[in-house]
Chain A
Amino acid sequence: MYLDPVLMIALPLFAAFLIPPLARISKGLVKYVPVLIIGFNLYEMVMLLPHSMVKPVIVVIAAWAPPLGINLTIGPLGNILALIISLVGFVVAIYNIRFMEEEPNEKYHMLFLLLTAGATGMVLTGDIFNMFVFLEITSISSYALTAFLRDRDGAEAAFKYLLIGSLASTFILLGIALIYATTGTLNMAQIAVRIKDVDPRIAIMALILLVTGFGIEAEMFPLNGWAPDAYSQAPTPIGAAFGGIVVKAGVYALARLVYTIFDFQGIFHFILIAGIITLLIAEMSAIRQKQLKRMLAFSSIGQMGLVLIALGLATTRGVEGGLFQMFNHAMIKPLLFLSAGYLVFYSGSKNIEDMDGMGRVKPLLSFFFAFGAFAILGLPPLSGFWSKFIILSETIRNGFIAIAALALFGSIIEAVYYLRVVGRLYFKAPHEGLHVQYVPKSALVAMGILAIITLIAGLYPDFVMVYLKPAAAELLDKTVYIKSVLMAGL
């Protein structure tokens, strides 16, 4: 039983508007609002899953059927991604309960709630300009959250992010303008129908502008200069949310563009090549990073490179693998970030060198980190293995053996730097004078949820795959998507 899906956008906004008065009544209550609201979103997405798998659920807004009004199109893909986003959001919200306690914490929770809502909106909406608006909601809250600690580095990172992000929105707007000028519509399904009649010289330009714009959010090289700084300087849960929420929305937009809206084949090769370059550069950059979170940031970029490779293959199985990888990354990278956050906090330093012996001081926390590291390396039986395996198998099946070999090379580099950290955690003597503090239960619960999901997805990958298959099918066969949206108008 599900309620109207538009509540998934409306309620977070409503709650965000109401947080300031609520904060005046009780400061303590505010931190539970995101948990509650995103929990509702999670429930909603789980309940919608059986419906959307059968046929896309079209939600009309303002009573105007699709081409006229804005609609939410909850197909398998949107549903899965919104589910991932809500899940990560939910877990991070739990983690947040005890994370941000000083002033102005109500603003923090509000921004985080809107970040999640924006990303959810991005993956659910069926209108390209609406997607832009939600992208802006997501990125503006990201900018603000990156600088939220008001420290020296946070502001710098936020400015870089904002600079690149503004360029992204410029390009996206230009792309949308071109599309509207030539097709006369903003509804993605209708654009997909009409783009065939558009002068390909214009269409390709629109595609390039949009791919560049969304590529910035999807951390494609060389558009990802903002990412390492923003990931590493934002408050830890926000770093996790970037990896689990923001990037996912960016990749979704990219996938929607190249698969559903446009019909150009060459762009897939570009994405494939961009993917492998992204992966390699990121892994190479990560190997000698001194700061833990910055290293994780580069690793995150590298993982997105793998996803891009999968999307660039444009085969059913490849896309399934890519989606699986996105799912895994959304579970594992927050796990790493969240555990790293407390490791950094307790060791009192951002540097990897100072993590020595944390495994003995904080065993559970370090266990979660090591678990995440093993999972992201793709070691069986954790879930990272399957997604990497499918992507590589598909890469090779399509004859890109060199790309697969390079990706594997990247994986080896990744193994080196992760295991160095894990080794430090467990096999070096802790520094003198580490004052052991208590890790909040809420944080441990949050990490525990992610770890359990990773393990289950690893041992029983079909459990996840069942839902990813229709999502991949939706991308590769756009007729269902188009038909179901346009039929809603009749």
Chain B
Amino acid sequence: MDILLIILTVILIAGALNTVRSKDLVAAVISGSVVSLIASIYFYLLQAPDVALTEAAIGVGLSTIIFMITIRRTGRMEE
């Protein structure tokens, strides 16, 4: 269990770092949604299924889409 948690945390932080680092905004947004996904798993592990569901639906799904639309509108690569 702890190992799983540590792996998840590593992925989470790596995802977050990639979100910040990546020049490609699409990659950054995808990394961001990975972060949300892991947050959602966290919530599940923390016995918060309601929050997990919400985070999955809104954080992983909806905000990623909104970001994608924006990126499509404004340009994919960071200057």
A–B touching in complex (CB under 8 Å): no
B interface residue numbers (CB < 8 A to A) = none
A interface residue numbers (CB < 8 A to B) = none
